[in-house]
Structure 1
Amino acid sequence: MLITGTKGDYYHKLVLNKILKEGTLDINPRPHYSDGLPAHTYSINHIMQQYDLSKGECPVETLRPIAWKSAVKEILWIYQMQSNKINDLHEMGIKYWDDWDIGDGTIGCRYGATVKRHNLMNKLLNGLKQDPFGRRHIMNMWQEDDFSDETGGTTKGLNPCCYETIWNVRWGEDGLYLDMLMNQRSSDYEISCAINELQYIALQLMVAKVCGFKPGMFTHVIENVQIYDRHVNNVKTLLTRESVRCCPQLILNTDKTDFYKFTIDDFVLTDYPVDKIKEKNPQMKFDLGI
């Protein structure tokens, strides 16, 4: 596999080209644009992307700037703070969840609220420490009882896109490695794929640190990959861009071993020349489907 930019750039161009060539248009979509019109998508099914963290591989792309710190803060909000409160995000400087406020200042019983309600994070950490080679280390946020009210109706909130992680420990040449597979039911690919991958790698780094393992393989499986109909021209422009040569790596740079003590300042993204990327491949504006 010849990669002229980052591995994230390679996957990005590969998948976006495939969507443009083979993607099918949906019917009666749930999301709508801010002007009220339906947000149609072109999509393909079933892709897999993989990064070997032990070799320094990283999903961050250079075809446009990626706000990696916001990505990591969001994963802390979900799994460490275990919150569904919009204000908690505002305090971290993140406002892109505002459109999913169900009217009470939260995103409903989703994401962090599900992690807390089912004690998912603590069960994972305890399970990995007690039985590292077990094959039942799974965190699943697709909890039907969180989505349904007592009358059988559906509670408000965006059902989780990145909904499941599966964790396995193996022996390597210099110790025990922690591999993680993340399942995602739906990905607005050019908007959030690199962000989702970075934040779940951050989660993998934290869990590995707490349990005394080395970060291993990160595998990302996406069931449905899409671009919105209003994003086609942006995607075509993005595919003409040349990568910025660099070798970024997300590092958890701390001696802490308490999962609930990690902060954004403990993370470093090395060799990611943001100013050069902004100059060569400036940020794009995308209309969101809400």
Structure 2
Amino acid sequence: MPSPLPETAVLDLMRRVWETGSERRDRTGVGTRALFGATLRFDLSDGSVPLLTTKRVFWKSAVKELIWFLNGETSIRPLVAQGVHIWTDWPLEKYAKATGEQLSRDEFEARILADDTFAAKWGELGPVYGKQWRRWLGPDGREHDQIAELLKGLRENPASRRHIFTGWNVAELSGMALPPCHMTYQYFVEPRGNGPAKLSGILYQRSCDLGLGFPFNIFEAALLLRMLAQQTGMVPGEIIWMGADVHLYLNHAHLVETLLSREPRPFPKLDLAKAPDLFSYRLEDVTLTGYDPHPAIAAPVAV
């Protein structure tokens, strides 16, 4: 019998969470079913990328978000300008609570784009991912570029066990619109005698919304690994995902049941045009072939 498609493991985990997970009230008040501790592995060496096919994932938004992280951005304005809405709900809720004014998402985003002062006050998310990745503030006031240091380490000391970056800056958590969920990344270089070294990575995710967040998280982690491999002259190996609190929201029953009723299809192949450096990639550099997903499924985000 042929081997099951890689997405089968994701669906198996989803079924296990939905059928056996512990039901709990959570920070959002919506409620979840959750399991603690899960691992998934995806082989990237054949050029494939883990992009779910049992629903259409808007992967171009994920590419834009990853580039936004790598640019060290913390304002929603650059995302909104590109038609990406995935971070708008948090500052919009903060605005509504602070002012009592109920704006629609479109109205709020229009003001973010049109008014510099409004964007500076209400479009900022605090010291979220991009700030920690590129400008981690040390106790001496000096900023640390974790991504630049990671690249330097991969090139100069590939056997190191310290190829790590993280967003979990305890001193700044309270100022973040949302503490990092996909929080720690680590990389492993495997030397090969007959060609370039192989780069594999682990993403440790403290909190994972398996229905909405995971499809973006795993695709972006795989894309980042491909970028790092390209920039360091290596070839991609595996991306390994480790989830701690892995959950599904109780109001996502239609999402879960629809996904579990569908047959997964092969993952697409990813072609990545060479950028001058890690911080110069554009959406146009990313090409997918063979992505044939089932239709998208709408579901609310718990804020």
Length-normalised TM-score, structure 1: 0.86
Distance 2:191 2:165 in 1: 22
The one of 155, 158, 169 equivalent to 1:132 is 158
Query: Identity over aligned residues, as a percent?
Result: 28
The one of 187, 196, 208 equivalent to 1:187 is 208
In the TM superposition, what whole-angstrom CA distance separates every residue of 1:251-286 from its partner, at most 9, and x where no partner exists? Answer: 2123x341122111111111113xxx3xxx322121
Where do residues 116-131 of structure 1 align in structure 2 (5 Å cutoff)? 116-118=134-136, 119-131=145-157
State the SS of the aligned residue for 1:218: strand
Q: Which residue of 2 aligns with 1:251?
A: 271
Counterpart contact for 1:209–1:257, Cα < 8 Å: no
In angstroms, what is the RMSD of aligned CA positions? 1.8
Q: Which residue of 1 aligns with 2:296?
A: 283
The one of 35, 39, 45 equivalent to 1:48 is 39
Distance 2:279 2:197 in 1: 23
Structure 2: tracts of 5 or more residues without a match: 96-120, 137-144
Distance 2:68 2:172 in 1: 18
1:90 aligns with 2:72: no
TM superposition shift of 1:206: 1.1
The one of 1, 16, 27 equivalent to 1:30 is 27
1:260 aligns with 2:291: no
TM superposition shift of 1:156: 4.3
Counterpart contact for 1:54–1:217, Cα < 8 Å: yes
Distance 1:100 1:46 in 2: 27
1:71 aligns with 2:62: yes
Structure 1: tracts of 5 or more residues without a match: 32-37, 148-153
The one of 125, 131, 136 equivalent to 1:113 is 131
State the SS of the aligned residue for 1:97: coil
Length-normalised TM-score, structure 2: 0.83
Counterpart contact for 1:51–1:57, Cα < 8 Å: no
Structure 1: 4+ residue segments shifted above 3 A: 1-4
Q: Which residue of 2 aligns with 1:7?
A: 6
Counterpart contact for 2:128–2:176, Cα < 8 Å: no
TM superposition shift of 1:227: 0.7
TM superposition shift of 1:11: 2.2
State the SS of the aligned residue for 2:203: strand
The one of 162, 171, 184 equivalent to 1:164 is 184
Counterpart contact for 2:52–2:267, Cα < 8 Å: no
